[in-house]
Amino acid sequence: MSQEQQVAERTRQAFLTGRTRPLKHRVSQLKALRRFIVEQQKDIAEALQKDLGKTEYGTQLYEMLGLEDEIKVALDHLAEWAAPRPVGKTLLTALDDVYIQPEPLGVVLIIGAWNYPWALTLQPLIGAIAAGNAVVVKPSEVCTHTAKVMEDLLPRYLDKELYPVVTGGASETQELLRQRFDHIFYTGSSAVGKLVMEAAARHLSPVTLELGGKSPCYVDKDCDLAVASRRITWGKFVNCGQTCIAPDYVLCEPGIQDRLLQEMRSCIKEFYTDDPKSFPDYGRIINQRHFQRVTALLEGSMVAIGGDSDESQCYIAPTVLRDVKPEAKVMQEEIFGPVLPILPVSGPDEAIRFINSREKPLVLYIFSSSNKVIKQMIAETSSGGVLANDCLVHYTVSALPFGGVGHSGMGRYHGKCTFDQLSNLRSCLIKTLSMEVVNKMRYPPHTAERLRWARVLLLTRVRLGRLRQLALFALLGVLAAFMYKRFIK
């Protein structure tokens, strides 16, 4: 038996003891996770500094704040999320108990990503714990220091049998994927996403795939270019462009390209000084392989800003390319680096055509002061999410379900969505053994009369809302009559 098989088996046994189910247990584990984040801040930040050149503040803002928020939301709402959810009834079931009961799925496999290793591995974990599952956590091996910290420290806070951390590379992940899980949550590339889903199919395990793609950013000529440039610059160069929802490329009319470049140049200077290389808030490319990949993408395109790099430090300057052609190398794959191509288009219609001729992205960005343009772009395109006049921040609203569509992914999470995604929403109908006479209409021998009854009982919906409204009006009427009699007469 391989190590991965043993871990999966042990986790399943731990789940079968039933100890993840009581809400108290889930709450205590979530609180422990919160303590972990707070107490191990230093080690976490150090690991991220070594892996991705993130500063302590960067770590807090882009990784930990989100996690703290998710834990808080889960703790505040767990009882509500886990409670039976009543649903509408028909006349036939008017006296029955009809509700959806959320239940744990069982053992969930979470495969994290390397760009935001804490956020993207622990956020699904929060929802999985809240939903009462056991979880095998597989952090990305690409961020080696972070994976080590997670493997060493997480078991000190969480139940180590219910939430084991498994580290390793491609072969360990493949071995894990051969085991049976009740749900697989994967964050990463579309190419590997297909393999994960294929592996999941063998066990009929449902999957959540948070993938990527080229997220377009359309900048309308009718918009506040200064503000737009700031927000795009921020969104693009956070974590050195290694963000699944970073604006991948910009589409704008040729007339505003120069102004855009000018504004971005000054924003880059403001954010990262004249020498981003020596500035602590500017990150690094994760490793040599990605460094080489990203620098190769520059080939054939005109560099307007930046362009310099240093392989020994995996440093690539904040780079903006102008007048990029659709056939350019940089437009053939998700960049995932600090290179922003600008492609000229003749207006929103051509931008829409361009976007629609490619795979549906994880997010679409639109910068415009015109509601008409924003509405048109939203109506005529598709993407996981859409953000008008800003970048990245839709990710922070935990009530907004986050995820892709088509090649950018399937499934949703954040907040209650994670809980629902990692639960079995079981439909429950509780009847009594009385009122058997009502059932006559469904029993053979069938007659036209019985069928007529069946139709009425099945098709009439009991509008509780309407009844409540009527009752309220009646009450108000009585109250008004009482008031009139008592005080006015």
Partner 1 sequence: MMVQVFRVLVLPVLLYDCETWTPMGSSVSSMEIEVVDRTRAAYQTGRSRPLQFRLQQLRALRRLLSEHEATISAALKQDLNKSHFNAQLFELIGVETEIALALDKLSEWAAPRPVQKNLLSMLVDAYIQPEPLGVVLIIGAWNYPWALTLKPLVGAIAAGNAAVVKPSEITQHSANLLKELLPQYLDKELYPVVTGGASETQELLRQRFDHIFYTGSSAVGKLVMEAAARHLSPVTLELGGKSPCYVDKDCDLAVASRRITWGKFTNCGQTCIAPDYVLCEPAIQDRLLQEMQRTLQEFYGDDPRTSPDYGRIVSERHFDRLITLMDDCSVALGGQSDRSELYIAPTILRDVDPSCRLMQEEVFGPLLALVTVNGVDDAIRFMNDREKPLAIYVFSSSKKVIKKVLAETSSGGVTVNDVMMHYTLSSLPFGGVGQSGMGRYHGRHTYDQLSHLRACYVTSPALESFNKARYPPLSHGRLRKARCCLQTWLCSCARASILWVALSSILALGLLVALLVILFKDTSK
Q: Tell me the C-alpha distance between 292 and 294, whole Å.
A: 6
Catalytic residue among 143, 223, 240, 244: 244
Nearest-approach distance from CB 33 to partner 1, in angstroms: 17
Nearest-approach distance from CB 405 to partner 1, in angstroms: 5
Nearest-approach distance from CB 487 to partner 1, in angstroms: 6
Q: Where are the alpha helices (DSSP H) in 304-402?
A: 348-356, 371-380
Backbone CA torsion sign across 314, 320, 321, 324 = positive
Q: Tell me the C-alpha distance between 271 and 255, whole Å.
A: 26
417 is catalytic: no
Catalytic residue among 4, 63, 70, 210: 210
Q: Tell me the C-alpha distance between 165 and 158, whole Å.
A: 10
Q: Tell me the C-alpha distance between 254 and 343, whole Å.
A: 8
In the chain the first and final C-alpha atoms are separated, in Å, by 89
Tokens 């972070």 appear where? 146
Q: What is the DSSP string of 365-382?
A: EEE-S-HHHHHHHHHH--
Backbone CA torsion sign across 327, 332, 336, 337 = negative
Nearest to 341 by CA among 261, 262, 397: 261
Please give the single-letter amino acid code of residue 400: L
Q: What is the DSSP string of 294-305?
A: HHHHTTTSEEEE
244 is catalytic: yes
Nearest-approach distance from CB 156 to partner 1, in angstroms: 26
Nearest to 225 by CA among 200, 255, 245: 255
Q: Which residues are catalytic?
A: 210, 244
